[in-house]
Structure 1
Amino acid sequence: MITVHFIDAKGRRVTVEAKPGDSVLDVAHANDIDIEGACEGCMACSTCHVIVPDPWFDRLPEPKEEEEDMLDLAFDLQETSRLGCQILLTEELDGIEFHLPRATRNLLIG
């Protein structure tokens, strides 16, 4: 199992366990972490936006161009922002932490 830490905008930390291969979005949903994921992980929104602190950010694979395009629409975008649906957990990421942005912007809801 992989230990994952989520820190919300108020600094509250929730630590959960996940299986290798799980996406951060799926782990958040399975543990009632407040990450929306309006498009259900098909990379059509930015509501699963997470901020990955250094040095964890450098351990992740480079984002694809489609992910970068969706991140441009995210609220509270940081240099180390990623979409949770695109991060698959591996043993090397044991202990990783993700900061949740102050808010999300859901462009799917008109």
Structure 2
Amino acid sequence: MARVTYIEHDGREHVVEVKPGLSVMEGAVRNNVPGIDADCGGACACATCHVYVDEAWREKAGKASAMEESMLDFAEAVEPNSRLSCQIRVSDALDGLIVRLPANQH
């Protein structure tokens, strides 16, 4: 299991164990972390699982694909460290990952 910390816009933290192979979005949904709507269920067809990857984890989390970049156009307040959490696969290398949630999901 990998530990992922989700930080809500207001600063509340949720530290959860996520099974390798699941996405960061699935980890949030399965652990009832508020702020990740995941309307498309992880198909990279919406932007309602938008997160900001902590700077220390950007390289390990990998780069967004062209498809993910296109979907991020629909997210609000996109930053250079924005990712769709459905596109980040959890692995042992991501144990300790920190993501922050935006104020709103669209």
Q: Same fold (TM over 0.5)?
A: yes
The SS at the match of 2:89 is coil
Q: Give the C-alpha shift of residue 67 in structure 1.
A: 0.2
Task: Name the Cα RMSD after superposition.
Answer: 0.8
Separation in 1, partners of 2:90, 2:66: 20
Give aligned-pair identity as a percent: 40
Moved over 4 A (4+): none
Alignment deviations for residues 43-74 of structure 1 (CA, whole Å, 9 cap, x no partner)? 11000001001120111222110000001110
**1:15-30 superposed matches below 5 A:** 15-30=15-30
| Structure 2: tracts of 5 or more residues without a match | none
User: Aligned residue for 1:7?
Assistant: 7
TM-score under structure 1 normalisation? 0.92
The number of equivalent residue pairs is 105
Q: What amino acid does structure 2 have at the position aligned with 1:74?
A: A
The SS at the match of 2:55 is coil
Separation in 2, partners of 1:103, 1:69: 19
User: Aligned residue for 2:104?
Assistant: 103
Whichever of the two has the greater Rg, that structure is 1
User: Aligned residue for 2:76?
Assistant: 75
Matched, 1:41 2:42: yes
